[in-house]
Chains A and B, each alone.
Chain A
Amino acid sequence: MILYLAAYVGLAWISFIHPARGLNITPWNPQAALAVALLLWLPRSWWLVGLAVATGEALVGNEPVPWPALVLSAGVITAGYAVIAAALKHWIAPKAALATRRDVVLFLAVVAAGALLGAVLRATVLWAMDVVPAARIPAVIHRAFIGDGVGLLVTLPVLWVLASRERTAATRTMLRAGEWWLIALVTALAMLGVFAQPTEEQFKFFYLLFLPVVWAATRFGAIGAAWSAALVQVLLILAVQTASYQPLTVFELQMLVAALTSTGILLGATVDEREEAQQALRASLRLAAAGDMAAALAHELNQPLTAMSTYARASQLIARQLAGTPQARLDPLLEVTDKLADEATRAGEVVNRLRRFFRDRSTELQPTDVAALVADAVASQTPRAQGLGVRLAATCDPGLAPVWLDPVQIAVVLRNLLANAIDAAAAAAPADAQPSQRSVTLRAKQADDEILVTVVDSARGLASHEVARIFEGRRSDKPGGMGVGLAISRSIVEAHGGRLWAEAGPGGRFHFTLPVTAGMPT
């Protein structure tokens, strides 16, 4: 809470540049995004937002505003933010990425309309309290609109990215890509290029800044566009601070940043959408092929498995008929044949469930203890890990809620991720290496209404460009691997309403989520 208050006032202070004459209205209000983000994710914190706005208005700025006007103005500004947050929540799911054109267009529309509404309300208050004469009202609206609008437009997407583990991981992956730093360098050079011009020429060269943003959007999607637009904004503010500018020019520059950011995010979302569609198509083709194979295999395997379990049951009957054999000598045999029959049936069960999953993505859900499922999967992989000299450890948060899931299918996912990680860890370091260099760790924890499972290995991990391709399953790093295990795992997790993703190294990192409550009928 204190942190938020400090961050809000701090941002307000940092961004308090080139205010409009006689008013504390600046051309860039990133703190607006902070306020909207807080209202978006913690709607009950409106009082905190109001307090921060009032504190910001009181502490920052060089024009004293009378107290009643300050309080009323803070209230109106908070109400404006609340309306924006509510609209965003209503039209765009707070968890959804800004990764579809629909989301981005709605986002832009809500931000523009919300900022305009806030500006009009604010101007009305200032006018009603006699702080501003009627003649300056249009100018006040214009300034406040641009300040809040650009602040939201540039900063909110970045906060949006940071609010999601998956998109934060994508950001880390992006930061490990050399290309991102090249884009950052080009941004800085373009900025120098623009500001090296005489003041009156600078607007003519502003288009140079579009190049790195568009580049980032095409290469890294909406996330890349959001970060690169934020970078442009930060550099621009720095440049403006070091040079002397008329506030009016700064406002005009901000209009350009707004256009730049909108273009970037919209383009990034288009790229994301296309990439998603392509991946979905490739995945469905691959899964269709795997499904055909699973169907054929199911038939071929189920016949001998049936014969095997039936022979096992028959041998139990034969053993019982052996006259004169003491029961004590018979029992171990009966026990072993029992296990034999059960194992054959279990193998058939896995085959059948996978076949059904491929046929129509069906799952057989039942309330399941995730910790027990994890323990089973770890136990099944421990002998292999020990054989390869890999240390395998798992930790589950105590008190994980039971989840409706298909235990057979999720066990396939867990075993698959663990087996891949064990192989990678074993291949990466020599057998006599330190145990910490040959290790696999699984962690399951509850985060909001999801359970997050993370598998980390000690290998070098994936490079940024490999992260997306790893799910295409075209090739496998494992000599005996089919290369479709990850694609299958991902579609199993998605059929459960969760997500599975990889993160770039160091260390192989795979995460997947399972919803705890989502989709539960009441």
Chain B
Amino acid sequence: MSTAVHRQTLFIVDDDPSVRDALALLLSLRGYPTAVFACAEDFLRALEPQWRGVVIADIRMPGMSGLEMQQALAQHPSRLPVIVVTAHGDVAAARQAFRFHAIDFLEKPFDHEQLLASIDRALGALPPDAASIGTRPVATTLSAREREVMALVVDGLDNRTVGEKLGISPRTVEVHKARVMSKLGARNLAELIRIAQASSGSP
């Protein structure tokens, strides 16, 4: 595994052997060189500065988590971009992943087209999506109430708490949230978080 990896390689870090194997199979059939690691520690030990490519990392792993590994990578000279995949996504994890400039945050089982698009984006084959997301006019598209709901939802508060803060029912919060998502074209909460972070200019 630690043979010199000079071409753009996909580094798959996942503790589940089946997921690891299946992903490596699919992506290598797609023509990408792949390398698999069973834990974050193994990957960081093997990592060399000249490696190029994309890391596809699970969050929940024994030992170091995928998010901690992502932070460690941000300090590393290789500057490898990271796509976070998780079977246990929540708002806090997505926020943290994007704060450390994750390319994407995908919930398992994910849409493979979306994964491939994210990989291409990370490899520079597609224009960065973040730029286009950043130009979505959050301030002008949304009503004041929708912006309030969005800010609190992106903070990771649940509907009941958001409703209590704004003096509306949890169901109304849900309806506002659904409208925000459709107005901004966010397909899931992770995308909404990314849009919010891009529009506020800070994580």
- Is A298 within 8 A of B16, CB to CB? no
B187 to chain A, nearest CB (A): 11
Q: Which of B160-187 contact A (CB under 8 A)?
A: 160, 169-172, 174-179, 182
- Is A305 within 8 A of B108, CB to CB? yes
Contacts A299-B60, A345-B111, A348-B108 known; A521 to B16 CB distance under 8 Å?
no
Chain A residues in the interface with B (C-beta under 8 A): 295, 298-299, 302-311, 313-314, 317-318, 321, 341, 344-345, 347-348, 352, 359-366, 404, 495-497, 515, 518-521
- Is B26 within 8 A of A302, CB to CB? no
- Is A303 within 8 A of B25, CB to CB? no
8 A-B pairs, CB-CB below 8 angstroms? A310-B19, A310-B112, A345-B109, A359-B158, A365-B175, A404-B178, A519-B172, A521-B143
Interface status of B45 (Cβ within 8 A of chain A): no
Contacts A306-B19, A361-B158, A521-B145 known; A311 to B170 CB distance under 8 Å?
no
- Is A521 within 8 A of B19, CB to CB? no
Top 7 closest A-B pairs, CB basis? Answer: A360-B158, A302-B87, A310-B22, A307-B18, A348-B109, A317-B29, A519-B171
CB-CB under 8 A from A362, the residues of chain B are 158-159, 174
- Is B29 within 8 A of A318, CB to CB? yes
Contacts A360-B159, A362-B158 known; A303 to B179 CB distance under 8 Å?
no
CB-CB under 8 A from B177, the residues of chain A are 365
Q: Report how many A-B pairs have Cβ atoms within 8 Å.
A: 113
Chain B residues in the interface with A (C-beta under 8 A): 16, 18-19, 21-23, 25-26, 29-30, 60, 85, 87-90, 107-112, 143, 145-146, 158-160, 169-172, 174-179, 182
Chain A residue nearest to B15 (CB atoms) is A303
Chain B residue nearest to A321 (CB atoms) is B29
A450 to chain B, nearest CB (A): 13
Give A299 to B108 CA distance when docked, in angstroms: 9
Give A345 to B87 CA distance when docked, in angstroms: 12
- Is A314 within 8 A of B109, CB to CB? no
B166 to chain A, nearest CB (A): 11
List 12 other contacts, CB 8 Å, given A307-B18, A365-B175, A521-B172. Answer: A306-B16, A309-B112, A311-B26, A313-B112, A352-B107, A360-B160, A361-B159, A361-B160, A363-B171, A495-B174, A518-B171, A519-B171
Cross-chain contact of B22 among A311, A318, A404, A518 (Cβ < 8 A): A311
